[in-house]
Structure 1
Amino acid sequence: MRLKPAVFSILVTLSLSVGGVRADTITTDQVITRTTAAFFNCADYQVVGVCFWLYCTWTGCAIRTSAKVAHYNPELTMQTYRNAQEPPWTETRQFLALTQSDYDGSLVSTILSTMGSGLDELGGGGGSENKAASHSNMTFTLTDSFGNPVMFASSVASMSGYVCDPKLTPMYPYYISNLDTVSWRFGIPEMFYPESLNPFGSLLGSNSYNWGGYYPRIGHVTNHDEIKESGLIAFRSGHFITRRNQDHIYTSIYQNDSEGWWAPDPLTVSSGRWQQLAPKADTSCRTFPLSADMGPSDGLQSRRSDDGAHVWNLWRQYKCCQDRGSFLYDVEW
């Protein structure tokens, strides 16, 4: 199911304030600055092959070649948070209110009322014993995914033929968890998938060190470590956003290959790279789970926010060639 474009254009207006913000909030200009600061480390630009093109004019035809390049693009900026009234990305708050996906949104209130849930549960956080899907060892986290604003520059740079345009819309809301309340909060039908019934079949990590199972792809987790919970929630949403025809309300970013342009495969544990934007600003990318030291201090403390709000970039690899005629074939080494 696709989330139709609404009034997301209001988000394109950037905040240029330079005042300080709390560690658990971020502005659009900071998203741009921190994404750009990590570009050379995260993009991992490579020449991976050569493309062959047929170029014809009235005088005849010739075979032309161009380099096939590969690099990672910052596709989505994802925020995870427990307080529905204060998403960490400050410019998204107005949009969430306009789409009635904030704490007081009448659409979400109606859904929760129909499902027999009180509005006071919308904010996330710790669980309680009063609902079958809300046990005391569970927490509930909200998440939203927007097209990374730096893609404005990617579209322009792609005209050179040596930068692969991800063909996504900057600032577009590809996923809003509060508009996906039935699936994200109540796990319908995610809870009944075969993958969800096997607790060891979809671990984000290895058997010896992982952040939990990414099925069922819902907002409830039993991991009470803020950074691990946030990473798992971001991965769960990214897992279905990069696929088509999943049982959620979202806009898929899955794309088919075209001549001289190759889109990434759907997200897996090893294929996506993650950059934390808040509360810590990374200048490099890693796969989940982030490595941790053993002992009382695991080395991840600076990554944990005071209120459970975190912001991440998802980077995935694209491949492309400069268009030099009619595409024939490519060779990759």
Structure 2
Amino acid sequence: MKRSPLRPLALAIATTLPVGTSVALDTAAIVASTLSPDCLEYKVVGICYWLYCSAGCRVRTSTKVRHYIPDAVVSAYANTGDNPWSEVSALGAPNVAAQAGNDGTTNHGNENNLAKFKEADVIGHPGGAVFSRFASASGYACRGATSPLVPYLLSTLDSLAWRHGVPESVYPEALVPGMREVGGTLSGDLWGSVYPRSGFLHQTDDHKAGAVFAQRAGDITTRQGQPHVYLPMLAHPQDGYWPAGELLEGNARTGKWQELTPRLSQSCAVFPNGGSHAQAADGAYAWALWRPYACCQRRGQRFLGSTDVQ
């Protein structure tokens, strides 16, 4: 495998961007964050076989690769209209059905908020061109399922489901403990349930609450036919192309998260992830959702199949 000439650039950016501090999130910072070898996780995983015919037929081969692609920026924020990604914040502005946000409270300073509420936006990642050059430096690169800056979910337009939990509040996943949860009670790291996929959650840690809302938004947009107002982030499988499928909490093989704000991370993880978690003073968080794709270069008219070596 070729060594990426962009990898030193990625490391340089990692040392100059303000990791571990509150980040003013804009498009330039998001684009730069795609230069992450850890999140890319580029691997050669097999061989593809193609039938090539021209004055006779023969079988050609090409390398099958797998890597992650930053499909979307997923934001979870307390105040309606205050997406921390400054250039797209107007997309989530208040409307007739979504007027205000922020947490529920007893108004006693010595008590925790009774419930966390956050809006959530899923926007196509803007770093596609830079990422493609970065990934291509390691070899053949796959394409993702999203278009830059396209809104795939704006919770302010999904008010019936996001603000009222209709109809998912009565789903078994929302009523039965232990079904579809981020973390778990027995393991002592329960962050919250995926269902109902709405904007309310009982969680005293604001960062963990934001992560659960991001997981819910990613869960919706990586599936077809959900009772929400959204666009699915799904590509169709083709010869020599295996796109990412449904996101599943705690399973890195379906997707992983790169924190963008309040701390800019150069690595990816699944929720729940250990370590310290920065609390955003304004209750606004954002992550890049990286999803796994596999592909190989077309080298003939007919695809004959592939063999995996890993």
- Return the TM-score normalized by structure 1: 0.78
Alignment of 1:95-106 (within 5 A): 96=91, 101-103=92-94, 105=95
Q: How many Å apart are 1:332 and its aligned residue? A: 0.8
Paired amino acid for 1:182: L
CA distance in 1, matches of 2:134, 2:279: 35
Q: How many Å apart are 1:240 and its aligned residue? A: 1.2
Sort the Cα spacing of 1:264 and 1:153 in 2 relative to 1 into closer, same or farther, 3 A.
same
Pairing partner for 1:265 from 237, 241, 245: 245
Pairing partner for 1:243 from 223, 226, 232: 223
Q: How many Å apart are 1:157 and its aligned residue? A: 7.5
Q: How many Å apart are 1:154 and its aligned residue? A: 4.9
**Preserved CA contact (<8 Å) 2:31 2:130:** no
- Match in the other structure for 2:87: 91
Moved more, 248-257 or 69-78: 248-257
Pairing partner for 1:152 from 117, 121, 129: 129
**Preserved CA contact (<8 Å) 1:69 1:319:** yes
Give secondary structure in 2 for the equivalent of 1:75: strand
| Residues 68-93 of structure 1: CA deviation (Å, up to 9, x unaligned) | 00001111101110111322110012
Paired amino acid for 1:140: F
- Match in the other structure for 1:289: 272
Sort the Cα spacing of 1:157 and 1:168 in 2 relative to 1 into closer, same or farther, 3 A.
farther
Moved more, 64-73 or 203-212: 203-212
> Cα RMSD between the aligned structures?
2.2
- Match in the other structure for 1:123: 101
CA distance in 2, matches of 1:273, 1:312: 10
- Match in the other structure for 2:305: 329
Sort the Cα spacing of 1:286 and 1:159 in 2 relative to 1 into closer, same or farther, 3 A.
closer
**Preserved CA contact (<8 Å) 1:79 1:143:** yes
- Match in the other structure for 1:33: 32
Q: How many Å apart are 1:41 and its aligned residue? A: 1.1
Paired amino acid for 1:30: A
**Preserved CA contact (<8 Å) 1:242 1:252:** yes
Give secondary structure in 1 for the equivalent of 2:217: helix
Q: How many Å apart are 1:156 and its aligned residue? A: 6.7
Q: How many Å apart are 1:179 and its aligned residue? A: 0.4
| Residues 149-187 of structure 1: CA deviation (Å, up to 9, x unaligned) | 112345678889710101420111011000000000100
Q: How many Å apart are 1:30 and its aligned residue? A: 0.8
Alignment of 1:1-333 (within 5 A): 23=22, 25-36=24-35, 38=36, 40-57=37-54, 59-94=55-90, 96=91, 101-103=92-94, 105=95, 109=96, 111=97, 119=99, 122-126=100-104, 137-154=114-131, 162-206=140-184, 207-208=186-187, 209-269=189-249, 270=251, 271-292=254-275, 299-300=276-277, 303-325=278-300, 326-333=302-309
- Match in the other structure for 1:10: none
Sort the Cα spacing of 1:61 and 1:158 in 2 relative to 1 into closer, same or farther, 3 A.
farther
Structure 2: which 5+ runs fail to align?
1-17, 108-112
Structure 1: which 5+ runs fail to align?
1-19, 113-118, 130-135, 293-298
Q: How many Å apart are 1:304 and its aligned residue? A: 1.6
Sort the Cα spacing of 1:254 and 1:323 in 2 relative to 1 into closer, same or farther, 3 A.
same
CA distance in 1, matches of 2:273, 2:283: 17
Aligned-pair identity in percent equals 36
Q: How many Å apart are 1:227 and its aligned residue? A: 1.0
How many residues are treated as equivalent by the alignment? 278
- Return the TM-score normalized by structure 2: 0.84
CA distance in 1, matches of 2:127, 2:216: 23
| Residues 234-285 of structure 1: CA deviation (Å, up to 9, x unaligned) | 0011011100000000000122311000012200121321110111010110
CA distance in 1, matches of 2:204, 2:52: 59
- Match in the other structure for 2:15: none
Paired amino acid for 2:231: T
| Residues 178-213 of structure 1: CA deviation (Å, up to 9, x unaligned) | 000000010000111111111221111233212111
Give secondary structure in 2 for the equivalent of 1:35: coil
CA distance in 2, matches of 1:231, 1:65: 42
Sort the Cα spacing of 1:231 and 1:155 in 2 relative to 1 into closer, same or farther, 3 A.
same
CA distance in 2, matches of 1:238, 1:261: 22
**Preserved CA contact (<8 Å) 1:24 1:310:** no
**Preserved CA contact (<8 Å) 2:40 2:135:** no
